[in-house]
Amino acid sequence: MTHPLGNPPSKIVAVHLNYPSRAKERGRVPKQPSYFLKPPSSLAGTKEAIVRPAGCELLGFEGEIALVIGSRAQRVAPEDGWSYVRWVTAANDAGVYDLRYADRGSNLRSKGADGFTPLGPRLLDARQVDPAGLRLRTWVNGELVQDDTTDTLLFPFGQLVADLSRLVTLEPGDVILTGTPAGASVVRPGDLVEVEVTAGELSTGRLRSPVAEGGPLAPYGAMPKADPAEREAAYGTAYEPEPLLDPRLAEGLRSVAVATLSAQLRSRGLPHMSIDGVRPIGAGGLVGVAHTLRYLPLREDLFKRYGTGMNAQKRAIEELRPGQVLVMDARRDPTAGTLGDILALRALRRGAAGVVTDGAVRDSAAVADLGLPVYAAGAHPSVLGRRHVPWDTGVPIACGGALVQPGDLIVGDTDGAVVVPPDLAEELIADCREQERQERFITEQVRAGESVDGLYPLGPAWRDAYENWCKGETQ
């Protein structure tokens, strides 16, 4: 494509998050803007196809407002930043999430492919528009999917120019992609994406980008791959993943007592499936699929590297999918916190089914009030750095003496929590229900004054009476 000003830009700078609606979707609000670069070769014009490489499934569109710099900007003040912008136009910050892993942090191949930055079709004179009075809309196959305005941006356009120019000289023709609002999602070959920016009566016109299927990538490099986390990120609120746990199984597990499950597991030669030493903080009761986090003993020389910033503890929270239980291996050490109220709240917002830790919980009263099922070995005021280094996620762990693998089922009630192998869940539910039915019968007989000899557990002498009782219960 020929650049709108006649020459290619020296750089295209894209902002990660800038619209409050998108920040709400992502579950985080940045304190300062952050950026990534797209190569000038990614530019395309209106009606040019965005080509999805064969093997990719997650081609994302992001309608954006593009700023075109008009004069050299170096260390400019925020109040002067807008004066360095010459043109405003519509853009689509396209990318394939299937390749994000390959250049984590830079987005080079996922966002920088040829044709992944359509611009146009018309330029609006920045001197004739109010930067806080622009409207951005995106349509997919004629349906409006994004509609937002620039009056509530986290980082106004002048601030973006000033911030970048502190360290990076902006040259005439450079392009700044200013972020996308809520509603960005995935498109497929055959779809049509349209983006328009308006300022009152002024309009860029619709930037039309049909989506086409491309050929396969050559095998001498990273190949596309998609996992549940990338699918969730790509689809945003439009993505409704399949439940991690069959709702029928989940309801079945909720219907039986953990004590009964433990007994049935033991009868199958699995006596070590209870997570010992944990009790509910607040209301008990959880059923979900295990996602794991492992802590290692504190080593001061390693804590700065592994324990700060976006460490494994925080990553584990952000990796949670609806229906998962975060299970923590804290080596049964309850003398430091492994979860506090803020991260518990974030787990709740992520749709977690609960948290189980064989360590301690901080802010236990606040955690109990959240309504998120949390099982812990106790409460402690100290932060995790007193005893633990958050090390890794998604690995087999030991929690309360039980081996927990990612994908195991976790069931909890007021007695505690137990690990259920997924392949045994269905038969366990049936056998637990039968055991509990027998125990209801036995309870009635004991209340009536019968001895437990030969009755508990149910012996042959009571079998006929039990079967007749069952017939009455089902009538």
Model pLDDT for residues 388-418, shown as the tens digit of each residue: 999 999 899 999 999 999 999 999 999 999 9
> Is the Cα torsion angle 279, 281, 282, 283 positive or negative in sign?
negative
- Closest Cα partner for 93 from 1, 184, 203? 184
Domain boundary among 237, 260, 292: 237
Q: Do 139 and 231 belong to one domain?
A: yes
Is 251 within the bounds of a domain? no
Which DSSP string corresponds to 98-117? Answer: GGGGGGTTT-HHHH-STT-E
The answer to whether 164 touches 213, Cβ cutoff 8 Å, is no
Alpha helices, H only, 83-156: 108-111
Q: Do 75 and 124 belong to one domain?
A: yes
Per-residue pLDDT, averaged over 242-258, amounts to 90
pLDDT (tens digit per residue) in 33-50:
999 999 999 999 988 999
Q: Lowest-confidence range among 22-26, 59-63, 163-167, 266-270? A: 22-26
For 381-399, b/e burial (b = at least 16 CB within 10 A) is eeebbebbbbbbbbeebeb
- Closest Cα partner for 359 from 306, 413, 400, 326? 400
Question: For position 200, which CATH number holds?
Answer: 3.90.850.10
Is 301 within the bounds of a domain? yes
> Is the Cα torsion angle 155, 159, 161, 166 positive or negative in sign?
negative
Is 44 within the bounds of a domain? yes
> Kind and range of the H or E element at 50?
strand 50-54
Per-residue pLDDT, averaged over 385-389, amounts to 94
Question: For position 309, which CATH number holds?
Answer: 3.50.30.40
pLDDT (tens digit per residue) in 124-150:
999 999 999 999 999 999 989 899 999
Q: Lowest-confidence range among 21-35, 181-195, 385-399? A: 21-35
> Kind and range of the H or E element at 213?
strand 207-216
pLDDT at site 394: 87
Is 76 within the bounds of a domain? yes
- Closest Cα partner for 57 from 239, 235, 226? 226
pLDDT at site 305: 86
- Closest Cα partner for 14 from 48, 43, 49, 50? 43
Q: Do 54 and 144 belong to one domain?
A: yes
Q: Do 47 and 116 belong to one domain?
A: yes
The answer to whether 46 touches 90, Cβ cutoff 8 Å, is no
Residue 191 confidence (pLDDT) above 60: yes
Per-residue pLDDT, averaged over 291-298, amounts to 96
pLDDT (tens digit per residue) in 360-372:
999 999 999 999 9
- How many angstroms separate the CA atoms of 153 and 158, rounded? 11
pLDDT at site 231: 79
Q: Which two tokens stand for residue 270?
A: 């699995």
Per-residue pLDDT, averaged over 285-313, amounts to 92
Residues annotated within a binding site: 340-343, 362-363
Q: Which two tokens stand for residue 243?
A: 């439940």
Residue 474 confidence (pLDDT) above 70: no
pLDDT at site 405: 94
The answer to whether 120 touches 61, Cβ cutoff 8 Å, is no
Is 95 within the bounds of a domain? yes
Domain boundary among 188, 222, 237: 237
Cis amide linkage into residue 390, ω under 30° from 0: no
Residues annotated within a binding site for Mg(2+): 363
> Kind and range of the H or E element at 389?
strand 388-393
Q: Do 106 and 186 belong to one domain?
A: yes
Residue 239 confidence (pLDDT) above 50: no
Residue 82 confidence (pLDDT) above 70: yes
C-alpha dist (Å) from residue 410 to 356, 369, 422: 9, 22, 10
- 364 lies in which domain range? 272-420
Q: Which two tokens stand for residue 293?
A: 């986090």
Is 283 within the bounds of a domain? yes
Is 264 within the bounds of a domain? no
The answer to whether 328 touches 343, Cβ cutoff 8 Å, is no
Q: What angle do CA 461, 463, 469 make, to 5 degrees?
A: 125
Q: Do 150 and 111 belong to one domain?
A: yes
Residue 1 binned pLDDT confidence (cut-offs 50, 70, 90): very low
Cβ-in-10-Å burial (0-12, 13-18, 19+) of 248 comes to: exposed
For 191-221, b/e burial (b = at least 16 CB within 10 A) is bbbbbbbbbeeeebbbbbbbbeebeebeeee
- How many angstroms separate the CA atoms of 18 and 317, rounded? 23
Q: What is the DSSP letter of 191?
A: -
pLDDT at site 4: 46
Residue 475 binned pLDDT confidence (cut-offs 50, 70, 90): low
Q: Do 193 and 291 belong to one domain?
A: no
Q: Where are the beta strands (DSSP E) in 1-49?
A: 12-15, 35-38, 43-44
The residue with tokens 């952050």 is 34
Q: What is the rounded (10 degree) CA torsion for 145, 147, 150, 153?
A: -50
Domain boundary among 401, 420, 439: 420
Q: Do 411 and 433 belong to one domain?
A: no
Cβ-in-10-Å burial (0-12, 13-18, 19+) of 10 comes to: middle
The model carries a pTM of: 0.55
pLDDT at site 2: 46
Residue 3 confidence (pLDDT) above 80: no
Cα 21 to the center of its chain, rounded Å: 16
Is 219 within the bounds of a domain? yes
Count of domains forming the chain: 3
Residue 441 binned pLDDT confidence (cut-offs 50, 70, 90): very high
pLDDT at site 238: 41
- Closest Cα partner for 46 from 212, 210, 208? 208
Q: Do 293 and 349 belong to one domain?
A: yes
Instruction: Count CB atoms within 10 A of the CB of residue 467.
Output: 10
Mean pLDDT for the chain? 92
pLDDT at site 103: 86
Q: Do 173 and 79 belong to one domain?
A: yes
Residue 283 confidence (pLDDT) above 90: no
Q: Do 324 and 391 belong to one domain?
A: yes
Q: Do 396 and 459 belong to one domain?
A: no
Residues annotated within a binding site for substrate: 340-343, 362
Cis amide linkage into residue 121, ω under 30° from 0: yes
pLDDT (tens digit per residue) in 192-237:
999 999 999 999 999 999 999 998 888 889 898 887 778 778 877 5
- How many angstroms separate the CA atoms of 344 and 325, rounded? 12
